[in-house]
Amino acid sequence: MAYSSMLLRRLGWSVVVLLGLTVVVFVIARMVPGDPARMALGPTASAEQVNQLRSEMGLDQPLPVQYLRFMGGLLRGDLGNSLLTRRPVVNDLRQTFPATLELVLLTVLLMAVTGVPFGILAARNKDGWFDNFARLASLLGVVTPAFFLALLLQLLVGYNVAGIPVLGRLSADLRFTADQTGFMILDGLLAGRMDVVGDAFRHLLLPTIALAAASIGQITRITRSSVLDVSRKDYVEAERAFGLPDWVVTFKYLLRPSAIPTVTILGLEFASLLGNAFLIEMVFSLPGMASYGVRAILQNDFNAVMGTVLVSGVFFVAVNLVVDLVLGFIDPRIRLRGAPA
Amino acid sequence: MALPAAATAATHILEVNDLRVAFRGFNGRAEVLQGVNLKVGRGERVGLVGESGCGKSLTVRAIMGILRTPPARVEAGEILFEGRDLLRMRQSERNALKGRDLSMVFQDPGTSLNPVFRVGEQLDDIKYWADRRRGQRMSRAARRERILEVLGQVKLPEPALVYDAFPMQLSGGMRQRVLIAMALLNRPTLLIADEPGTALDVTTQDEILRLLDGLVQEEGLSMLLISHNLGVVRAMTDRLYVMYAGAVVEEGRTADLFKDARHPYTRALMRCVPRLDGEGDLVGIDGTLPDYADPPAGCRFHPRCEFAHRRCLTRPPMIEAGQEGHRSACWLEAPK
Amino acid sequence: MSLPPTGDALLQGDMTPLPKGGLPSTLKAHQPWRRTLYRFVRNPAAVVGSAIVLLVVFVAVFAPVIATHPGHVGSFVNIRERHQPPSSEHLFGTDQVGRDVFTRVVYGYRVSLLLVLVVLGTAVPVGVVLGLLAGYYGGWVETIIMRVTDVFLAIPVLVMALALTAALTPSLTSAMIALASLWWTWHTRLIFSIVRSLRGEEYVESARLLGANTLHMLFRELLPNCVSAISVKVALDAGFVILIGAGLSFLGLGVRPPTPDLGMMVSDGSRYLPDMWWQSVFPGLAILVAILGFNLLGDGLRDLFDVEVS
């Protein structure tokens, strides 16, 4: 019961934040210098044509009106047309977002499966060889820029190890498009094409590692310190004093309280993956939303830019919301009080 | 040389002999416990007093086996429970005793309960594992019955509600009662109470202490009560140990110590307690506890002692003083 | 009970009184700053981190002296010397137009540090003041400030920075503006949470009761308590700014050529992988080292001050 009221509060707050996001995006898009209509038509178009397009696009209206038009379109699912591709931005995004999402989801999986156990083991091995190794690896992961790591991986692994491709999403000779869900691996499975699945995996291997590295480092550190923190708490001492076996204390009574910072950081890292995904997609030439967005930015394709930023923002808010809800489930203090102790 | 188990078991339920615990810290090695000796007889209520930092909590943690062993280390000594040395036992045997025959009421109800689990679940686990070690198994319902029974024993108003509650939904006093219930759950023979109720307001603390006293008498438990509060100790113990800076400085029957304290530290402590009849001044003791990494030579109290003399640079042993069982670690008691 | 034998005959029975307070201790007096210094030196992260940071700063400041080919910083083309691998003459090799990579890396640090100085120099004071105000006044001041902060925080930094930088036409200035306009939010949130927890403290209450005015409260009572958290965050942030700044310029949204910029150098060089690897690897390593230094320093400071910084 406390949980559902918390859920409602969080949901409401997310809506507010999303509204704020639209305002911010709108303002930024309008800051782009130059005349969008002119840019759309090119330098050869006449002034009349430009003006006509301008009024069509509603650029001659006062800003608040433009904002309302923008919001109206948004709610209808219309993000305008891309100046470059001349197609609805929504379609472009629908095509490119799954590729990015696929990369991001694989990365999150890798992060959770590597970072958390590493952190727990490092805590148990405190000051031992594994702990020191884990801390060093985490540090290196955190301080290495993702794009640099991507290049290094290409250099050291991609070019030297056969079978691990350096660029792209799928080998061209396989002749397959992911048109069902947009997820190459999933679509390959659905179509029964295991060669596609394997190939897609191999293409995603280096990008995933490059994208995950920094996050794995953070997660390992936070998990480690959180486990150490909790194991110092009085109640753990008390539980041991009452003769609860070590493994019960570790895997039940230690895990849940220490999961809280870990889930928090997992969520934070997940949500911010999108930023680094931009860089990774550029390096590995993956046809995702990120490279679409970057190209749009460089070419002043502001509808596309707004669309990309909006989707990124929505994704971010959605992930944060899910994380908050999971945390509320784990930690009764959040549920009952609305904030962690 | 240790006496045969049967003989010692008959005399004392707990015996701590020459316990030395040291810490490795910033400034090197700090020997905190200098050779602590204490005994608790069957059915006896024994008190351990001293100011904060004197090592009483450390002693207790060593007894319960919950010392944080990276910084702390037991360097010497033995802790005999019913004649068996806890320090030299196998880990599994020691675990079997914990929470069962040897139980502890923790000090801070705010931090001694796991905040993300319900009270009932924590108690249930404790009972389950203690039973398993004994080779017994109770059904979940039967365990719940027993837990509710104990929660009632500590005078919690609605045991069933408490069972389902999270710690933060309970008041401090209620949580402290839960901690006592936890300690009593498996019918221990020795109960160690570490400054129970100090984290609570005075009225609640009083209630808790009365409750504890009643339960101890009711169940016929032996008790080791740790406190820095002389008033509490006077009311609730038969025998008393006074600790200072990692060593016992005086021991004896509680009544004897209050009437005729011998060690300068104990006497100074007694003077610190204000009297209801308004007589006497409020006197503090100059100085503070020594730095354990760089302690004074010999008797650790001598820098603060008005009777300090050159002999005090050698550590005094426990010397008989006055009544039977009354001993003080001070050269002043030595025959001149 | 008889006395145990003592080895020292002098001590036996000697009743000479000792001075009050006992014999003097051998340990030095403990002064607080001395203790901090002692702990700092013992903390490997802090020491190594500050060493690296000092090195980076030194290199940036004395770039003209350290660089081997200062002339290569501007528009310089020497086709005959292009794509030279690392050698004794060109420590990091040369790039596709013959410029010495080492020189450009050294000068590249200037850009990175300038970015850090400007971004943090503006964002931190703004963020701190806002956080102080929100935490101290509470009420609708708090609501407005913190809600706006939350909205800004809801947007991933790199995405925002990309959008802003692009909107303002890519240049170093626009990158600085873009980052600074987002960065204050973290400091606001940090200071706010510290101040809010301090609000109930007694010394705050007593200062207020004694009639301290608002400015005094903010800057003499509350702010000093935030200093350690701020310094940890600033150190860590510096590394983060460099990271994001490098990302931005990698995508072509930073400094305009021919000014050397580490991220841009990595990007330019990526075209020539794997053969002319030195063009990308050395600037990349330079970025890594700088971030490493600030990160270690921040970690070390955090251990030192025993502070909670998210």
Residue A330 forms part of a structural domain: no
- Chain A: list its partners (3+ Cβ pairs within 8 Å): B, C
Please tell me which of the candidates B303, B311, B312 has its beta carbon nearest to residue C21: B303
How many C-alpha atoms does C301 have within 13 Å on its Cβ side?
20
CATH number at residue C144: 1.10.3720.10
Phi, psi of A257 (to 5 degrees): -65, -35
Q: Which two tokens stand for residue A150?
A: 């991507």
Tell me the sheet residues that pair with B12: B41
Residue A86 forms part of a structural domain: no
Give the model confidence (pLDDT) of C73-90 as tens digits: 777 777 777 787 888 778
pLDDT at C242: 92
Domain range enclosing C220: 115-309
Q: A256 to chain B, minimum CA–CA distance in Å?
A: 7
Mean pLDDT for all residues in chain A: 80
Residue of C nearest to A305 (CA): C163
The 10 Å CB-count burial string (b at 16+, else e) for B175-195 is: bbbbbbbbbbbbebbbbbbbb
Please tell me which of the candidates A24, A142, A309 has its beta carbon nearest to residue C295: A142
Please tell me which of the candidates C168, C280, C291 has its beta carbon nearest to residue A151: C280
Residue A299 forms part of a structural domain: no
pLDDT at B315: 83
Residue C147 forms part of a structural domain: yes
ipTM here = 0.79
Task: Tell me the mean pLDDT in the region A174-195.
Answer: 76
Tell me whether residues B310 and C25 touch, CB distance under 8 A: no
Higher pLDDT, A221 or A301: A221
Q: A245 to chain B, minimum CA–CA distance in Å?
A: 8
Contact B196, B184 (CB under 8 A): no
Answer whether C75 touches B (CB < 8 Å).
no
**In the predicted structure, residue B299 carries a pLDDT above the cut 90:** no
Q: Which two tokens stand for residue A289?
A: 């939303």
Question: What percent of chain B has pLDDT above 70?
Answer: 92
**What are B238-241's contacts with CB under 8 Å, separation 24+?**
B238/B44, B238/B45, B238/B46, B239/B44, B239/B45, B239/B46, B239/B47, B239/B325, B240/B46, B240/B47, B240/B48, B240/B49, B241/B38, B241/B46, B241/B47, B241/B48, B241/B49
Question: What percent of chain A has pLDDT above 90?
Answer: 7
Residue A327 forms part of a structural domain: no
Please tell me which of the candidates A235, A248, A337 has its beta carbon nearest to residue B113: A235
Tell me whether residues A332 and B115 touch, CB distance under 8 A: yes
d(CA B198, CA B195): 6
d(CA A158, CA A162): 7
Tell me whether residues A20 and C273 touch, CB distance under 8 A: no
Q: B311 to chain A, minimum CA–CA distance in Å?
A: 42
Q: C83 to chain B, minimum CA–CA distance in Å?
A: 54
d(CA B327, CA B249): 8
Chain C residues with CB under 8 Å of B294 CB are 25-27
Q: C304 to chain B, minimum CA–CA distance in Å?
A: 13
Strand arrangement of the beta sheet that strand B239-244 belongs to: B102-105, B190-194, B222-227, B45-49, B239-244, B247-253, B327-328, B319-320
**In the predicted structure, residue C12 carries a pLDDT above the cut 60:** no
Tell me whether residues C3 and B312 touch, CB distance under 8 A: no
Q: A195 to chain C, minimum CA–CA distance in Å?
A: 28
d(CA C4, CA B328): 15
Diameter over CA atoms, chain A: 86
**In the predicted structure, residue A167 carries a pLDDT above the cut 90:** no
Least confident of A224-228, B50-54, B234-238: B50-54
Please tell me which of the candidates A16, A144, A147 has its beta carbon nearest to residue C250: A147
Q: Which two tokens stand for residue C192?
A: 């706010």
Q: C2 to chain B, minimum CA–CA distance in Å?
A: 8
Answer whether A234 touches B (CB < 8 Å).
yes
In this structure, the strands spanning B327-328 and B102-105 are unpaired
From A25, A49, A78, give the residue that closes a domain.
A78
First to last CA, chain C: 63
Residue A339 forms part of a structural domain: no
Mean pLDDT for all residues in chain C: 78
Task: Tell me the mean pLDDT in the region B217-230.
Answer: 87
Answer whether C166 touches A (CB < 8 Å).
yes
Other Cβ atoms less than 10 A from the Cβ of B215: the count is 20
On whether both A262 and A173 belong to a single domain, the answer is yes
**In the predicted structure, residue A327 carries a pLDDT above the cut 70:** yes
On whether both A66 and A136 belong to a single domain, the answer is no
Task: Tell me the mean pLDDT in the region A316-329.
Answer: 82
- Chain B: list its partners (3+ Cβ pairs within 8 Å): A, C
**In the predicted structure, residue A1 carries a pLDDT above the cut 60:** no
Q: Which two tokens stand for residue B208?
A: 């808790």
* Interface test with chain A among B114, B147, B190, B226, by most A beta carbons within 10 Å: B114
Q: A221 to chain B, minimum CA–CA distance in Å?
A: 21
Chain B residues with CB under 8 Å of A238 CB are 104, 106, 112-113, 179, 182
Chain A residues with CB under 8 Å of B126 CB are 239, 242-244
Which residues have a Cβ under 8 Å from the Cβ of C246 and sit 6 or more positions away?
A145, A147, A148, C112, C262, C263, C266, C287
C91 by DSSP, 3-state: which?
Answer: coil
**In the predicted structure, residue A291 carries a pLDDT above the cut 90:** no
CATH number at residue A144: 1.10.3720.10
Higher pLDDT, A92 or B335: A92
Higher pLDDT, C168 or C301: C301
On whether both A110 and A68 belong to a single domain, the answer is no
pLDDT at C32: 60
First to last CA, chain B: 32
- For residue A158, what pLDDT band results from cuts at 50, 70 and 90? confident
d(CA B8, CA B4): 7
Residue C32 forms part of a structural domain: no
Tell me whether residues C156 and A317 touch, CB distance under 8 A: no
- For residue C202, what pLDDT band results from cuts at 50, 70 and 90? low
Task: Tell me the mean pLDDT in the region B288-313.
Answer: 81
- Which of A23-32, A71-80, A217-226, B131-140 ranks highest by mean pLDDT? A217-226
- Which of A43-47, B106-110, B119-123, C135-139 ranks highest by mean pLDDT? B119-123
Task: Tell me the mean pLDDT in the region A266-292.
Answer: 84
Tell me whether residues B314 and C26 touch, CB distance under 8 A: no
Q: C277 to chain A, minimum CA–CA distance in Å?
A: 8
Residue with tokens 């509350």, as numbered in its chain: C222
Other Cβ atoms less than 10 A from the Cβ of C92: the count is 24
Answer whether B295 touches C (CB < 8 Å).
no
pLDDT at A181: 74
| Angstrom distances, CA of residue A119 to CA of A122, A222, A301 | 5, 7, 43
d(CA C102, CA B182): 68
Answer whether A322 touches C (CB < 8 Å).
no
Tell me the sheet residues that pair with B327: B251, B320
Residue C90 forms part of a structural domain: no
Task: Tell me the mean pLDDT in the region A163-185.
Answer: 74
**In the predicted structure, residue C11 carries a pLDDT above the cut 50:** no
| Domains in chain A, number | 2
Residue C206 forms part of a structural domain: yes
Please tell me which of the candidates B68, B104, B129 has its beta carbon nearest to residue A241: B104
d(CA C119, CA C177): 7
* Interface test with chain C among B26, B285, B313, B324, by most C beta carbons within 10 Å: B313
Q: A76 to chain C, minimum CA–CA distance in Å?
A: 23
First to last CA, chain A: 19
Mean pLDDT for all residues in chain B: 83
d(CA A113, CA A198): 20
On whether both A133 and A66 belong to a single domain, the answer is no
Domain range enclosing A61: 34-78
Tell me whether residues A159 and C274 touch, CB distance under 8 A: yes
Residue A226 forms part of a structural domain: yes
Task: Tell me the mean pLDDT in the region A195-212.
Answer: 86
Least confident of A294-298, A336-340, B123-127, B159-163: A336-340
d(CA C97, CA C212): 64
**In the predicted structure, residue B110 carries a pLDDT above the cut 90:** no
pLDDT at C124: 92
Residue C100 forms part of a structural domain: no
On whether both A69 and A115 belong to a single domain, the answer is no
pLDDT at C166: 67
Answer whether B129 touches A (CB < 8 Å).
yes
Task: Tell me the mean pLDDT in the region A51-79.
Answer: 75
On whether both A99 and A68 belong to a single domain, the answer is no
On whether both A125 and A49 belong to a single domain, the answer is no
On whether both A209 and A72 belong to a single domain, the answer is no
Give the model confidence (pLDDT) of A95-151 as tens digits: 888 888 889 999 999 999 999 889 888 888 888 888 888 988 998 998 999 999 998
Tell me whether residues B311 and C4 touch, CB distance under 8 A: no
On whether both A60 and A126 belong to a single domain, the answer is no
pLDDT at C123: 92
pLDDT at C255: 78
d(CA B180, CA A137): 46
From A49, A78, A107, give the residue that closes a domain.
A78
- For residue B147, what pLDDT band results from cuts at 50, 70 and 90? very high
- For residue A340, what pLDDT band results from cuts at 50, 70 and 90? very low
Residue of A nearest to C294 (CA): A143
The 10 Å CB-count burial string (b at 16+, else e) for A247-260 is: eebbeebbbbbbbb
On whether both A252 and A213 belong to a single domain, the answer is yes
Tell me whether residues C15 and B308 touch, CB distance under 8 A: no
Answer whether B115 touches A (CB < 8 Å).
yes
Least confident of A201-205, B130-134, B204-208: B130-134
On whether both A241 and A111 belong to a single domain, the answer is yes
Other Cβ atoms less than 10 A from the Cβ of A36: the count is 21
Chain C residues with CB under 8 Å of B293 CB are 27
On whether both A110 and A57 belong to a single domain, the answer is no
Task: Tell me the mean pLDDT in the region C283-308.
Answer: 85
Residue C62 forms part of a structural domain: no
Task: Tell me the mean pLDDT in the region B104-130.
Answer: 87
Residue A266 forms part of a structural domain: yes
pLDDT at C294: 93
Residue A309 forms part of a structural domain: no
Residue C34 forms part of a structural domain: no
**In the predicted structure, residue C3 carries a pLDDT above the cut 50:** no
Chain B residues with CB under 8 Å of A234 CB are 106, 108, 111-112
Phi, psi of B50 (to 5 degrees): 170, 165
Tell me whether residues C270 and A146 touch, CB distance under 8 A: no
- Chain C: list its partners (3+ Cβ pairs within 8 Å): A, B
Dihedral angle computed from the Cα positions of residues A89, A91, A93 and A98, in that order, rounded to the nearest 10 degrees: 180
| Domains in chain C, number | 1
d(CA C245, CA C253): 9
Task: Tell me the mean pLDDT in the region B58-74.
Answer: 83
Which residues have a Cβ under 8 Å from the Cβ of A53 and sit 6 or more positions away?
A37, A40, A41
How many C-alpha atoms does A53 have within 13 Å on its Cβ side?
15
* HEC secondary structure over chain A: CHHHHHHHHHHHHHHHHHHHHHHHHHHHHHHCCCCHHHHHHCCCCCHHHHHHHHHHCCCCCCHHHHHHHHHHHHHHCCCCECCCCCCEHHHHHHHHHHHHHHHHHHHHHHHHHHHHHHHHHHHHCCCCHHHHHHHHHHHHHHHCCHHHHHHHHHHHHHCCCCCCCCCCCCCHHHCCCCCCCCCHHHHHHHCCCHHHHHHHHHHHHHHHHHHHHHHHHHHHHHHHHHHHHHHCCHHHHHHHHCCCCHHHHHHHHHHHHHHHHHHHHHHHHHHHHHHHHHHHHHHHCCCCHHHHHHHHHHCCCHHHHHHHHHHHHHHHHHHHHHHHHHHHHHCHHHHHHCCCC
Answer whether C25 touches B (CB < 8 Å).
yes
Give the model confidence (pLDDT) of C210-253 as tens digits: 776 767 766 777 777 788 888 888 998 999 899 988 888 888 77
**In the predicted structure, residue B165 carries a pLDDT above the cut 80:** yes
Contact A161, A209 (CB under 8 A): no
Tell me whether residues B117 and A341 touch, CB distance under 8 A: no
Q: B73 to chain C, minimum CA–CA distance in Å?
A: 23
Residue with tokens 């971030």, as numbered in its chain: C291
Chain B residues with CB under 8 Å of C11 CB are 310-311, 313-314
Residue C43 forms part of a structural domain: no
Task: Tell me the mean pLDDT in the region C189-215.
Answer: 73
C28 by DSSP, 3-state: which?
Answer: coil
pLDDT at B46: 93
Cβ contacts below 8 Å, chain B against chain C, sum to 57
What is the gyration radius of the CA atoms in chain A, in angstroms? 24
Contact C151, A14 (CB under 8 A): no
